[in-house]
């Protein structure tokens, strides 16, 4: 049954998002309706409000959520009303060449569902009956959302909604880059550029993998303080410490084994590539503006045999990785409680975005 729900909507780029009441349509075949329990405020949501990630408005924000299934569409037989789920913003189809080759994070179905459900239609309408786009094919900064069945992963209901929510983006993207995209050897030296919600999770992914030295680079001392809490052994603030690459070369005696770029800028990708030793691996996690380019010294490429690789959604296989990350949390290896440094009501969404831009939180979460 269709429901009325409050939702956080970007109406126009470079304007603050607004909270409005929308209609959430009933699930169609292969879909489910979810009562959202909590939704993290991710930097990508902010990027969607200013066109850095060019998803057209009007757009219901949010792609990092957990909730409870309240209605099943026709044909959904492997889930039940009352199940607790985490939203995956990649609806892996299981059939395309990428799913079959074991890279569901690159799924063709998901590439089509950027602002709609995979069938190309919307499940949100505004008060005038006009359709609203779904951020990342989900749009879960709302009291209710109708999603494709492939966008939800059933989890243990004992996990708090705010903790479960952030696994759906920041934790998966950040920790996954260290746990899935590359295989870090115990004792390795890692560098993480950017200590925001994603970078902090890359830091803890490196720590879980047994990295001995983890160097965090960020322009904010507050974020570097968080970085130490999540496992960074050294921190560099280029504002006060000067050239990061030179510092890293000195600290590591000639370059790190792995560098993770969690910022999304050509200049920091170049630094990540330059701060690893010969044969090392630089991983690009941050999402840049379309058209952003990277400058590398072409002459040195064959001599150094470095690897530069992208990491999409932490190379997630959500149905395997979400439960695994929650198991690491229950065991005490993965910090989630410490990540949620503030919670907000949906009516405080503007404050949550202001705090994101000010960089005061490890992660802010809207709790419903």
Residue 358 CB, nearest distance to Zn ion (Å)?
18
Instruction: List the helix and strand counts (H, then E) for the chain.
Output: 13, 18
Nearer to Zn ion (CB atom), residue 110 or residue 209: 110
What is the torsion angle, in degrees rounded to the nearest 10, for the CA atoms of residue 337, residue 342, residue 347 and residue 349?
-100
The two three-digit tokens of residue 148, written as one number? 């494709």
Which residue among 39, 53, 65, 169 contacts Zn ion (CB under 5 A)?
Answer: 169
Residue 180 CB, nearest distance to Zn ion (Å)?
16
Residue 6 CB, nearest distance to Zn ion (Å)?
21
CA torsion sign, 97 to 327 to 114 to 48? negative
Of the candidates 295, 260, 263, 256, the one whose C-alpha atom is nearest the C-alpha of residue 279 is 256
DSSP state, 348? G
Residue ranges in 32-51 that form contacts with Zn ion under rule CB under 5 A: 42, 44
Per-residue exposure over 129-155, b if at least 16 CB sit within 10 Å of its own CB, e if not: eeebbbbbbbbbbbbbbbbbbbbbbbb
Number of CB atoms found within 10 A of residue 305's CB: 9
Number of residues located near Zn ion, criterion CB under 5 A = 7
Number of CB atoms found within 10 A of residue 68's CB: 16
Residue 44 CB, nearest distance to Zn ion (Å)?
4
Residue 168 CB, nearest distance to Zn ion (Å)?
8
Strands, E assignment, the chain: 3-10, 18-24, 31-40, 59-60, 65-72, 84-87, 124-125, 133-134, 144-148, 152-154, 189-193, 213-217, 234-236, 256-261, 276-284, 307-310, 340-344, 363-367
Nearer to Zn ion (CB atom), residue 96 or residue 212: 96
Nearer to Zn ion (CB atom), residue 90 or residue 308: 90
Nearer to Zn ion (CB atom), residue 104 or residue 280: 104
Q: Is 365 in the site for Zn ion (CB under 5 A)?
A: no
Residue 89 CB, nearest distance to Zn ion (Å)?
7
Residue 109 CB, nearest distance to Zn ion (Å)?
5
Q: At what angle do helices 266-274 and 244-252 cross, to 10 degrees?
A: 20
Nearer to Zn ion (CB atom), residue 48 or residue 232: 48
The two three-digit tokens of residue 301, written as one number? 């490429």
Residue 97 CB, nearest distance to Zn ion (Å)?
8
Nearer to Zn ion (CB atom), residue 47 or residue 270: 47
Q: Cβ neighbours of residue 112 under 8 Å, at least 6 residues apart?
A: 118, 120
Residue 120 CB, nearest distance to Zn ion (Å)?
16
Written as one string, the DSSP assignment of 151-198 is: GEEE--TTS-HHHHHHIIIIIHHHHHIIIIIS-PPTT-EEEEE--SHH
* Per-residue contact flags (x/-) with Zn ion for residues 299 to 338, judged by CB under 5 A: ----------------------------------------
Nearer to Zn ion (CB atom), residue 53 or residue 276: 53
Nearer to Zn ion (CB atom), residue 199 or residue 280: 199
DSSP state, 26? P
Nearer to Zn ion (CB atom), residue 92 or residue 248: 92
Residue ranges in 76-115 that form contacts with Zn ion under rule CB under 5 A: 93, 96, 99, 107
Binding residues vs Zn ion (CB under 5 A): 42, 44, 93, 96, 99, 107, 169
């Amino acid at each position: 049954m269709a429901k009325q729900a409050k939702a956080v909507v970007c109406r126009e780029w470079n304007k603050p998002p607004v909270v409005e009441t929308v209609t959430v349509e009933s699930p169609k075949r292969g879909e489910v309706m979810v009562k959202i329990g909590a939704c993290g405020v991710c930097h990508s949501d902010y990027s969607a409000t200013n066109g850095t990630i060019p998803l057209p408005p009007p757009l219901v924000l949010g792609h990092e959520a957990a909730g409870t299934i309240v209605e099943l569409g026709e044909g959904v037989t492997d889930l039940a009303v009352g199940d607790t789920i985490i939203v995956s913003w990649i609806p892996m189809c299981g059939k395309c060449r990428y799913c079959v080759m074991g890279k569901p994070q690159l799924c063709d179905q998901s590439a089509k569902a950027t602002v709609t459900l995979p069938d190309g239609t919307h499940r949100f309408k505004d008060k005038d009956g006009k359709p609203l786009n779904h951020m990342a094919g989900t749009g879960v900064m709302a009291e209710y959302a109708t999603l494709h069945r492939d966008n939800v992963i059933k989890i243990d209901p004992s996990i708090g909604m705010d903790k479960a929510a952030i696994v759906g983006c920041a934790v998966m993207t950040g920790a996954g880059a260290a746990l899935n995209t590359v295989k870090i050897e115990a004792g390795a030296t890692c560098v993480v550029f950017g200590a925001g919600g994603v970078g902090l999770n890359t830091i803890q992914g490196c720590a879980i993998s047994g990295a001995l030295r983890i160097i965090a680079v960020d322009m904010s001392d507050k974020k570097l303080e968080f970085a130490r809490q999540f496992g960074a052994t050294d921190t560099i603030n280029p504002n006060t410490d000067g050239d990061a690459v030179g510092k890293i070369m000195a600290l590591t005696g000639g370059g790190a084994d792995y560098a993770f770029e969690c910022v999304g800028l050509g200049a920091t990708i170049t630094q990540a590539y330059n701060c690893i030793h010969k044969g090392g691996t630089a991983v690009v996690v941050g999402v840049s503006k379309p058209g952003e380019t990277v400058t590398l010294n072409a002459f040195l490429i064959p001599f150094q045999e470095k690897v530069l690789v992208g990491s999409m959604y932490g190379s997630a296989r959500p149905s395997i990785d979400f439960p695994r990350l929650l198991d690491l949390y229950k065991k005490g290896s993965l910090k989630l409680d410490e990540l949620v440094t503030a919670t907000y009501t949906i009516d405080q969404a503007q404050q949550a975005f202001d705090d994101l831009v000010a960089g005061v939180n490890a992660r802010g979460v809207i709790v419903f």
